[in-house]
Homo-oligomer: A and B are copies of this chain.
Amino acid sequence: MDSMGIMARKPMAADQALRLDNQICFAVYSTAHAFNRVYKPLLDRLGLTYPQYLVMLALWERDDVPVKDLGERLFLDSGTLTPLLKRLEAAQLIRRTRSTEDERVVLIALTPQGHALREKAKAVPQSILAASDCTVGELLAMKDEIVALRDRLNAALGE
């Protein structure tokens, strides 16, 4: 339909914008899967899936927290977290208890095994760093850019 001329001012022709290779979202999407595949053999040894590992990371920083709290830190809702947390409970890594102050709240706390797993997990970031073939500095810089993008996307959702 549209040929040249009027399109000259546009930042990118629509045809180009639809190319798979030009999509930053596909880059992010496929990189997330690549991370998942690199993590898998490492996390198998801990008996965790990648999302479960993220939950454990969050809990190692602060536990005895409501599900809601975890959800906000991880950008996940109860539909995802409830079954995941039940599996972590079945694996004896966490305990789920109703708060006595507010009976709607379920507090998530680490068990001794859950705390202990942290020591085994300490080796994981090293292996990921090696697989990424980047320096810590490069990764941290890229992380900051990506987080800034994520936060702008999330801000756009709120409007």
Q: Would you call A75 and B34 a contact (CB within 8 A)? A: yes
**CB of A120, distance to nearest CB on chain B (Å):** 11
A90 interface residue per 8 A CB criterion = no
| Chain B residues positioned under 8 Å from A128 (CB to CB) | 25
| Chain B residues positioned under 8 Å from A130 (CB to CB) | 156
Q: Which of B121, B146, B149, B152 contacts A24 (CB 8 A)?
A: B146
A37 interface residue per 8 A CB criterion = yes
The verdict on A135 contacting B8 (CB below 8 Å), with A35-B28, A39-B25 known, is yes
**CB of A16, distance to nearest CB on chain B (Å):** 9
**CB of A97, distance to nearest CB on chain B (Å):** 23
A113 interface residue per 8 A CB criterion = no
A104 interface residue per 8 A CB criterion = no
Q: How far is the CA of A115 from the CA of B147 in the complex (A)?
A: 35
Q: Would you call A31 and B149 a contact (CB within 8 A)? A: yes
B-contacting residues, A22-66, CB 8 Å: 22-35, 37-39, 50, 54, 57-58, 60-61
Q: Which of B121, B124, B157 contacts A38 (CB 8 A)?
A: B157
Q: Would you call B135 and A156 a contact (CB within 8 A)? A: no
The verdict on A18 contacting B142 (CB below 8 Å), with A35-B28, A132-B153, A150-B34 known, is no
Q: Which of B30, B136, B152 contacts A74 (CB 8 A)?
A: B30
Q: List 10 A-B contacts (CB under 8 A).
A: A10-B136, A15-B122, A18-B60, A20-B61, A24-B146, A28-B32, A34-B154, A130-B156, A134-B152, A142-B145
